[in-house]
Amino acid sequence: MNAVSDLRFLASVDGDLAYRDTGTGDPVVLVHSGFTDHRLFEDQVPALTAAGYRVIAPDVRGHGASANATRPFRWADDLAALLRHLDAGPAVLVGVSMGGVIATDTVLEYPELVRGVVAAGAATSEFQTTDPWHLQVRAELARAGAEGDVDGWLAAFLRFAPGPHRTLDDIGPALLARLREMALHTLSKHTPGEHDRRVPVTGTWARAPRTDAPLLTVNGSLDCADIVGEAERLARTVRDGRSVTIEGAGHYTNLEQPETFNRIVLDFLRSL
């Protein structure tokens, strides 16, 4: 994976926040999934810069090279601060999983900074699940995290890649290695039972119908049904929403089928 020597840093009130900024043109911000970092988008950055876009890829607070939180915070506030620091708004936000949630929360909190959203495998931060598979994986993550069981936590985390319909044997080893490396790096920044200082964004579904920015949800056909369902619900709820499915892909559509994902994102960008 690429070195982090090209990272820049924004000094926030609670530590430095890392980001990559490359290319020229209209700004596109790539927001990674939970426990990964900006390197999740190594297959997207070249395609977007070659198409004439400025690409900004932050490490979300508590991830990658960015500082951990020592006080209450919201990821949407961090992202808004970065956009203002770089004079990069309004930008198109492209997020995968947790990154898609951050993108959606940011357009709700700071609509003047966002001109479009792509949320892959995500809806808003007010996500609740009753799906047995999803509940089991989340319970395994919570248990292993509280006990400091790194191997158990990593095994549960990686289950999101194939989703409920496949096994890890169905996923390419290179993809799993990328996820494992990033996750272990971020996990090493934290301690078992660490206090979660994140403040949730609230009232998201009530505000979503008033969202003017075009929004696209990208879903893998093999992802967990409740994740896909909430994403499609979001596309129906906002004023200008649409949804697309990538057949044969799970949760990390940008990793499993990067060329298809890139084409979908570029088509969306050109439609704005």
Q: Is the pLDDT of residue 1 over 70?
A: no
Tell me, yes or no, whether 138 and 226 share the same domain. Answer: no
Q: Tokens in use for 22?
A: 């490359």
Average pLDDT over residues 145-174: 94
Q: Is the pLDDT of residue 4 over 70?
A: no
Give the CA dihedral 86, 89, 91, 96, nearest 10 degrees: 60
Residue 3 domain flag: no
Average pLDDT over residues 105-112: 97
Tell me, yes or no, whether 207 and 254 share the same domain. Answer: yes
Q: How far is the C-alpha of 132 from the C-alpha of 226, rounded, in Å? A: 10
pLDDT at 5: 54
In the block, tokens 């043109």 appear at 25
Q: How far is the C-alpha of 86 from the C-alpha of 21, rounded, in Å? A: 9
Tell me, yes or no, whether 172 and 51 share the same domain. Answer: no
Domain that holds residue 113: 8-128+198-271
With cut-offs at 50, 70 and 90, classify the pLDDT of residue 41.
very high
Which one-letter DSSP state was computed for residue 254?
H
With cut-offs at 50, 70 and 90, classify the pLDDT of residue 193.
confident
Within 8 A by CB and 6+ apart from 145, the residues are 153, 192, 193
Q: Tokens in use for 64?
A: 């990658």
With cut-offs at 50, 70 and 90, classify the pLDDT of residue 224.
very high
Residue 1 domain flag: no
pLDDT at 55: 98
Within 8 A by CB and 6+ apart from 130, the residues are 226
With cut-offs at 50, 70 and 90, classify the pLDDT of residue 255.
very high
Average pLDDT over residues 19-26: 97
Q: Is the pLDDT of residue 247 over 60?
A: yes
Average pLDDT over residues 137-150: 91
Q: Residue 98, Cα to own-chain centre: how many angstroms? A: 4
Within 8 A by CB and 6+ apart from 153, the residues are 140, 141, 144, 145, 187
Tell me, yes or no, whether 40 and 73 share the same domain. Answer: yes
Q: CATH number for the domain including 219?
A: 3.40.50.1820
pTM equals 0.96
CA dist list (Å): 2 to 47, 96, 197, 254? 16, 20, 30, 17
Residue 2 domain flag: no
Average pLDDT over residues 213-229: 97
Tell me, yes or no, whether 21 and 94 share the same domain. Answer: yes
pLDDT at 63: 97
Tell me, yes or no, whether 88 and 124 share the same domain. Answer: yes
Residue 192 domain flag: no
Average pLDDT over residues 155-165: 95
Please provide the DSSP assignment of 20-77 as one string. Answer: EEE--SEEEEEEPPTT--GGGGTTTHHHHHHTTEEEEEEPPTTSTTSPPPSS-B-HHH
Tell me, yes or no, whether 101 and 208 share the same domain. Answer: yes
Q: How far is the C-alpha of 29 from the C-alpha of 197, rounded, in Å? A: 24
Q: Is the pLDDT of residue 50 over 60?
A: yes
Residue 90 domain flag: yes
With cut-offs at 50, 70 and 90, classify the pLDDT of residue 3.
very low
Tell me, yes or no, whether 244 and 216 share the same domain. Answer: yes
Q: Contact 205/233 with Cβ under 8 angstroms? A: no
Q: Is the pLDDT of residue 2 over 70?
A: no
CA dist list (Å): 205 to 93, 124, 195, 210? 19, 8, 27, 10
